[in-house]
A and B are shown apart, each in its own frame.
Chain A
Amino acid sequence: MMGKLLLLFVLATTSLGVVALQSPDTPEQSPTTTKKLTAKDWLSRLKTVVSESNYEVSFVLSRVGHEAVPYLWRHSVLPDGTDMEQLNLQNGPGREFIRVNQQISVFEPDQPPYSVYGNNINGPIPTALLNAPESLYGAYEFVLVGRSRVSGRPAQQIRVVSQDNTRYAYQVWLDEETAMLLKMNMLDKQGNVLEQIQVSSFSFSEQPHPYFQRVNQSALPKVMALPPTQLGEHKWAVSYVPVGMKEVKQDTRRLAISGQLVDYRLFSDGLVDVSVYVEPANQSLNQDVLLRHKLNTFLSLTNGNVQVTVIGEIPPETANNIARSLVVSR
Chain B
Amino acid sequence: MTEQHENLSALVDGEIHEDKVLDALSHDDQLREKWQRYHLIRSTMRKEMPAGQYMDISAQIADAIEREPTVLAPNKRFARIPVIGRLSNKVVPFAKQSGQFAVAASVAAAVIIGFQTFNQPPESKPFVTAPPAAGPQGGLAPVSLEQTRALPTQSRAEVLETRRHINALIADHEQQVKLKSDSDKKNQENQESPVQ
Residues of A within 8 A of B (CB): 62-68, 102, 104, 116-120, 122, 127, 188, 192-196, 198, 226, 229, 248-249, 255-258, 260, 262, 264, 266, 268, 273, 275, 277, 284-285, 287-293, 296-298, 300, 309, 311-312, 315-316
Distance of A127 Cα from B184 Cα, bound (Å): 13
In the complex formed, the residue of A with least CB distance to B136 is: A62
B141 in contact with A192 (CB, 8 Å): yes
B182 in contact with A226 (CB, 8 Å): yes
Task: Name the distance in Å between A128's Cβ and chain B's nearest Cβ.
Answer: 10
Which residues of chain B (165-179) have a CB below 8 Å from chain A? Answer: 165-173, 175-179
With an 8 A cutoff between CB atoms, is B142 at the interface? Answer: yes
List the A side residues contacting B45 at CB < 8 Å.
none
A193 in contact with B136 (CB, 8 Å): yes
Distance of A117 Cα from B165 Cα, bound (Å): 30
Distance of A199 Cα from B145 Cα, bound (Å): 30
B165 in contact with A285 (CB, 8 Å): yes
With an 8 A cutoff between CB atoms, is B193 at the interface? Answer: no
List the A side residues contacting B184 at CB < 8 Å.
248
List the B side residues contacting A287 at CB < 8 Å.
151-152, 162
A292 in contact with B142 (CB, 8 Å): yes
Which of B169, B170, B175 counts the most A-chain CB atoms under 10 A from its CB?
A: B169
The bracket for how many chain B residues form the interface is 35 or more
- Given A258-B168, A289-B166, A296-B173, A120-B181 contact (CB < 8 Å): yes
Task: Name the distance in Å between A284's Cβ and chain B's nearest Cβ.
Answer: 6
Residue in contact with B137 in the complex, picked from A193, A256, A292, CB distance below 8 Å:
A193
- Given A258-B168, A291-B145, A229-B183 contact (CB < 8 Å): yes
3 tightest A-B CB contacts, nearest first:
A292-B145, A62-B136, A257-B168
Residue in contact with B165 in the complex, picked from A68, A118, A258, A293, CB distance below 8 Å:
A258
Please list 5 pairs of residues, one from A and one from B, whose beta carbons are closer than 8 Å in the complex, sorted by A's number.
A195-B136, A249-B180, A260-B165, A297-B145, A309-B169
Residue in contact with B173 in the complex, picked from A63, A290, A312, CB distance below 8 Å:
A312
A65 in contact with B172 (CB, 8 Å): no
B145 in contact with A316 (CB, 8 Å): yes
List the B side residues contacting A266 at CB < 8 Å.
176-177, 180
With an 8 A cutoff between CB atoms, is B43 at the interface? Answer: no
List the A side residues contacting B152 at CB < 8 Å.
287
Among B27-35, B49-57, B87-95, B127-135, which stretch is in contact with chain A?
Answer: B127-135
In the complex formed, the residue of A with least CB distance to B172 is: A255
Distance of A289 Cα from B158 Cα, bound (Å): 14
A256 in contact with B169 (CB, 8 Å): no
A117 in contact with B186 (CB, 8 Å): yes
Task: Name the distance in Å between B27's Cβ and chain A's nearest Cβ.
Answer: 60
Task: Name the distance in Å between A313's Cβ and chain B's nearest Cβ.
Answer: 9
A273 in contact with B177 (CB, 8 Å): yes
Residue in contact with A292 in the complex, picked from B140, B146, B149, B185, CB distance below 8 Å:
B146
Task: Name the distance in Å between B103's Cβ and chain A's nearest Cβ.
Answer: 50
- Given A127-B181, A291-B145, A298-B170, A226-B175 contact (CB < 8 Å): no
A260 in contact with B168 (CB, 8 Å): yes
- Given A193-B136, A297-B145, A118-B181 contact (CB < 8 Å): yes
B176 in contact with A275 (CB, 8 Å): yes
Main SS at interface, chain B? helix
B149 in contact with A290 (CB, 8 Å): yes
Distance of A282 Cα from B99 Cα, bound (Å): 86
List the B side residues contacting A262 at CB < 8 Å.
169, 172
Task: Name the distance in Å between B88's Cβ and chain A's nearest Cβ.
Answer: 61
Distance of A296 Cα from B167 Cα, bound (Å): 12
B151 in contact with A311 (CB, 8 Å): no
Distance of A272 Cα from B176 Cα, bound (Å): 12
Q: A118-B185, A292-B144, A293-B170 are in contact. List 17 more A-B contacts (CB 8 A).
A: A64-B136, A67-B131, A117-B186, A119-B181, A122-B178, A194-B140, A248-B187, A262-B169, A275-B177, A289-B151, A291-B166, A298-B166, A298-B169, A298-B170, A300-B169, A312-B173, A316-B143
With an 8 A cutoff between CB atoms, is B96 at the interface? Answer: no
Which residues of chain B (22-52) have a CB below 8 Å from chain A? Answer: none
List the A side residues contacting B168 at CB < 8 Å.
255-258, 260
Distance of A104 Cα from B133 Cα, bound (Å): 33
Distance of A282 Cα from B184 Cα, bound (Å): 33
With an 8 A cutoff between CB atoms, is B148 at the interface? Answer: yes
In the complex formed, the residue of A with least CB distance to B154 is: A287
In the complex formed, the residue of B with least CB distance to A249 is: B183
Distance of A102 Cα from B182 Cα, bound (Å): 10
With an 8 A cutoff between CB atoms, is B147 at the interface? Answer: yes
Task: Name the distance in Å between B187's Cβ and chain A's nearest Cβ.
Answer: 7
Residue in contact with A277 in the complex, picked from B140, B146, B169, CB distance below 8 Å:
B169
Task: Name the distance in Å between A204's Cβ and chain B's nearest Cβ.
Answer: 26
In the complex formed, the residue of A with least CB distance to B135 is: A64
Distance of A229 Cα from B140 Cα, bound (Å): 41
